[in-house]
Structures are given as structure tokens and as C-alpha cells.
Amino acid sequence: MKKEPLKIAILGYGKMGREIEHLAEERKIEVTEIFDIDRPIYKHERHDFDVAIDFSSTDAVLKNVETLGHIKKNLVIGTTGWKDRESEVEAIVKDSGIGVVYGSNFSIGMQMFYKIVERAAQFANSVQDYDIAIHELHHKRKADSPSGTALSLADIVLKEFFRKNDILEETSHGVISPHSLHVSSMRLGEATGTHTIYIDSLADTIELTHRAKNRSGFALGALAAAQWVNGKTGFYNFQDIFEEVLKTG
């Protein structure tokens, strides 16, 4: 029996939403509905899609999850900046019985970078002479700072580099504590997302950098996550399941 193509809805029709729409067609995924600030999704309407992909705004995430939970539709959340509401979102997902994949970065290349940083932090941790920090650069319109990706990288470093136990997100106006992981940010023009890990000692400096060239990597990862979560229930971090996503994509 021929398998029906996946039907998706797009929440947020900015540059990422348009990129998802464009690449969905290439992957034989049908975009059946598009929602934006001027045309929000309502729970009392009839909807014809299997999975929604949310690249809207931080403020809209909780409301979108509530609506998707009410209409029993699965969701991929690519919007960042809502980490402080994660427990609320997870509770809604579990209570409604839907499936959600969320992530600070849906780029497959960034998922590879996470693994590289994890191993590098382990090495640096084993040598007392080395210190470690993170810097990220994005275009001037990005709302959250540091980026969700930078904070995900910081979480990885803190788990592996035992001499650090907290994050300093702001500019240091004095001597930084040796126990603080400095995560700095810059916003500039049309710069694409760039994340660099610095591992430094008196002897040398190691720089590990991931630089996004365009939005296609994020869109392809989100579409792959939508295919994976279709028909599933639960609350999943893309970082934890991306290898499984690759196998089934």
C-alpha cells in the first residue's frame, strides 16, 4: 500500500518558515497550512496536517503547544529562548499525549559539532593548564542572547569540564571567577550563526568553530524531525535522538 506523504503546518512564516516550505516540496512533504502573527492557529478550527513545525517567536511557544495539545497534533519546536518554560511545556505535552521534538539547533552539522565539543571538553578537563570559553555571533535581528545553541554548548562543556560550574552570560567587568564558563555574544549586520569554543593555555590555543552558511541545514533537520515524530508520543530533545532520526530519514 502506498504511504501517504507527510502533511505539515508551518508556525511562523519568516525566513525559516519559507525555507522549510521550499525544502518540503523537494522532500515530497506537503505543506497544508501556514500560520503567522496575523493568522494564528486556533484550537476550535479544523486542521489538515500531521505535524506542525514552529519557528515563530519565543512568546508564542507556550500558546502554540497548548493549542497543538488540544487538537492532538505533534510538533517540532525550533524557536529558542523559552528554556525557563521547559517544565511547563513538557507537562502540557505529557498531559495531552502528543509528540514533540525540540532543539536549540536543528542543523545536522551542529549536532556533529556537539559531539566534537563534548570530546574536546573531556580532553581539556584532564589537563589542569587549559581554560575554556564560548563565543557566538549572529545577525542584528536575533532576539535572544546568548543564543540557545550557545547555551546548549555551555551545558555540554559544564558536564565534561569539572573546573567550571556556572555560566557567565554578561560582559565581565572584573576578574572572572575560574569556576565560571564565559559565554559571550555579538550581534552584527547580516552575520550567519557562528559558534566558537576556545580552549586556551600558556602554550597554545585551540579554536573549534561551527559556522552556518544558510538556513537550509536547520530546515532539513526540522523536516527530518517532523518525519520522525509523526505518530509518536513524548517530549524529545533533538540532540538526544538525532542519530535515530538520521537512520530513519
Active site residues: 138, 142
Instruction: Tell me which H or E stretch contains 102.
Output: strand 99-102
Cell of 178: 575560574
Give CA separation, 176 vs 10, 137, 221, in Å: 43, 21, 37
| 3-state secondary structure at position 206 | strand
Cell of 177: 571567577
Q: How far apart are CA 44 and CA 64, in angstroms?
A: 13
- Give the angle subtended at the CA of 209 by the CAs of 79 and 185, to the nearest 5°: 55
Residue reference for cell 542543523: 107
